[in-house]
Amino acid sequence: MKLSEDHNIDREILLEAERLFYTYEGESTPALNGLSLTIKRGKKIACMGANGSGKSTFFLCCNGIYTPSSGSLYLSGRPVGRTKKDLLMLRRKVGIVFQDPDRQLFAASVRQEISFGPLNLGFSEEETRRRVDAVMEELGITAYAHKPVHALSGGQKKLVSIADILVMEPELIILDEPAAALDPFYTEMVHQITRRITERGITVMMATHDVNYAYEWADEIILFDEGRILRQGHPAGLFSDHALLKKTHLTPPMLLTVFHQLQSRNLIREKSPAPRNMEELKSRLTSPPDTQEQNGFPASPPDTQEQNSCLAQQEELSI
Amino acid sequence: MIIIDRLCYCSKLRYVNAGEKSAFTVLTLAACILSRSCAVALFVLAATGVLTVYKGGLPLFRYLKLMSMPAAFLLLGTAAIFINISKVPLGAFAFSAGSYYITGSFQGLRQGAELILTALAGISCLYFLSLSTPVTDILTVLKRLHVPALILELMLLIYRYIFVMLKLAEDITVSQHARLGNRNLAASRKSFAAMVSSIFILSIRRSGQLYDALESRCYNGTLRVLPEDHPAKASEVFCIAVFELFLYLAVIFLKLSGGMP
């Protein structure tokens, strides 16, 4: 009984960091200051925290690029050493999409760029070609397979840098601020791709400063602060903790603020959990007494009225 | 350089086997240099011109503009062969300037013309290759020829990073101009120096970051990527062979018959 339980826990936890310390050369304050956390398989995890709070350093440790001065890392329950074999295993299972594509993309053509990873993993040219083509098809970048990387736009470069990692089929994909410097079109595209990646069962860890997106998307939020984990938890609980948010200079997500305001004015059904998106919020509004209710939704004209009152509330809030 | 890179990706000959194109270029270039004759040079100029403009789909105007740049250099460079300053007028032309003549001989004129045409023909060969073949394809050919991997990797990285660094330089220049960094000569000289030194520092940092990114994708010392391969077509190989055969026969014939190159 005990044994099977242990086994279950091992299977569920993908990556575990235990008291990691890391200091950059020539710096006095450590970038990682005894950081411990566990990453569960199949979760969508948003990493938040100020610049310099240790997110990127931690990511590079997850991939074996930086060696922590002390502490240990476990992959699927097994400690990761510094042997070549261990590092190769770690890098095969954990992929990083860097924030700046120009930092990652080195090859002259898109297809060659994407082929780098699988060839390093030891796949034949035949198999590599098949995988590269499949990933390009999936991300809709086949049209510029033969284009030089420097001729692509910022958004296109981002998609290529995601393809770079996706083609290696890792178990954990780390996206370091994937929407940074992207226009709304490519931001939405990256979000869609992220959704599809998680649907495939790949664990995604994403650094982001967008509280609204993190709140809606993530299963779990990890708050970084000065090289440590300040809090790891469910978005609704974490973002309702105002003292915590103040400490990390984060603002609560708009949806949650609106929800709390509506709740305090008794416009929300009692005891309903915090909504994760606009649809859920709408379904939790109490219907005005004089309108008929259909399937839990107010009829359409009052619906707009409802929204208007919602907006009015929001405006009031912002004042 | 950037414009050539952009144009070669639009060439209609881009997907022709790079080996074929390289072989054509090298053989034709060698023929030009060996023969040193106006006739061969003119013939090669015409052939590569047709290939680049007509077959490759490059606008004629663009091509002429590209050719005019080296042509200007050649004219300046060969001026010394055309023009002599002498006390006696030579055969071809002579203008008197005091007790001296600015003059030229037929011999000098022909030599100069041969030199210019041969060099232009050679350049047109190289233009043909660079306006139809991306660097990646050329690297694939060089790999086939067993050029050491280290040199090829350096070429690849340098090629990629030329563009990254240029963009960086451009951004820094713009930001300097936005703060009146070029308001007078002294200021712009200073800004330029600052730009160069910061690019140097940034490029060192970039190389470190790139190494990290490569390592995170299991880099093990060799940059292996899929070769860009487009199969050779028998008909094209045949055409090139016939063309080169004819060209070399002409070169040999000229050498034997003329005595004069």
Query: How does pLDDT run across B99-129, given as a tens digit for each residue?
Result: 787 777 788 888 888 888 999 999 999 999 9
Same domain, A275 and A227: no
Same domain, A173 and A295: no
Do the chains contact at B224 and A88, CB–CB below 8 Å? no
Same domain, A269 and A237: no
A16 forms beta bridges with: A38, A74
Query: How does pLDDT run across B17-74, given as a tens digit for each residue?
Result: 889 999 999 999 999 888 888 888 999 999 999 999 998 888 999 999 999 999 998 8
Instruction: Provide mean pLDDT across the span A56-64.
Output: 92
CATH number of domain containing A20:
3.40.50.300
- Partner-chain residue, chosen from A117, A146, A147, that has the shortest CB–CB distance to B218: A117
Q: Does residue A3 lie in a domain region?
A: no
- 3-state helix/strand/coil string of chain B: CHHHHHHHHHCCCCCCCHHHHHHHHHHHHHHHHHHCCHHHHHHHHHHHHHHHHHHCCCCHHHHHHHHHHHHHHHHHHHHHHHCEEECCCCCCEEEEECCEEEEECHHHHHHHHHHHHHHHHHHHHHHHHHCCCCHHHHHHHHHHCCCCHHHHHHHHHHHHHHHHHHHHHHHHHHHHHHCCCCCCHHHHHHHHHHHHHHHHHHHHHHHHHHHHHHHCCCCCCCCCCCCCCCCCCHHHHHHHHHHHHHHHHHHHHHHHHHCCC
pLDDT score for A133 = 94
Same domain, A241 and A140: yes
Instruction: Provide mean pLDDT across the span A9-23.
Output: 86
How many domains does chain A fold into? 2
Q: Does residue A2 lie in a domain region?
A: no
**In 3-state terms, what secondary structure has residue A109?**
strand
Same domain, A180 and A310: no
CB distance B190 to B145 below 8 Å: no
Q: Count of alpha carbons within 13 Å of A82, Cβ hemisphere only?
A: 8
CB distance A203 to A41 below 8 Å: yes
Query: How does pLDDT run across B68-83, given as a tens digit for each residue?
Result: 999 998 888 888 777 7
Same domain, A112 and A75: yes
Q: Does residue A34 lie in a domain region?
A: yes
Taking a contact as any Cβ pair under 8 Å apart, which residues of chain A between 119 and 148 contact chain B?
A: 119-121, 125, 128-129, 132, 146-148
Domain coverage including residue A74: 9-247
Q: Does residue A24 lie in a domain region?
A: yes
Take residue A103 and report the two structure tokens written for it.
Answer: 């930092």
Same domain, A296 and A229: no
Q: Does residue A154 lie in a domain region?
A: yes
pLDDT score for B65 = 92
> Which residues are CB-neighbours of A273 under 8 A, at least 6 positions away?
A236
Query: How does pLDDT run across B133-179, given as a tens digit for each residue?
Result: 888 888 889 988 999 989 998 988 888 888 888 888 999 999 998 98
Q: Does A29 touch chain B (CB under 8 A)?
A: no
Q: Which of A295, A308, A226 is nearest to A30 (CA)?
A: A226
Same domain, A205 and A288: no
Same domain, A218 and A270: no
Which of the residues A102, A144, A162 would you substitute to probe the B interface, choosing the one with the greatest number of B C-beta atoms within 10 Å? Answer: A102
Query: How does pLDDT run across A204-263, given as a tens digit for each residue?
Result: 999 999 999 999 999 999 999 999 999 999 998 899 888 998 888 889 999 988 888 888
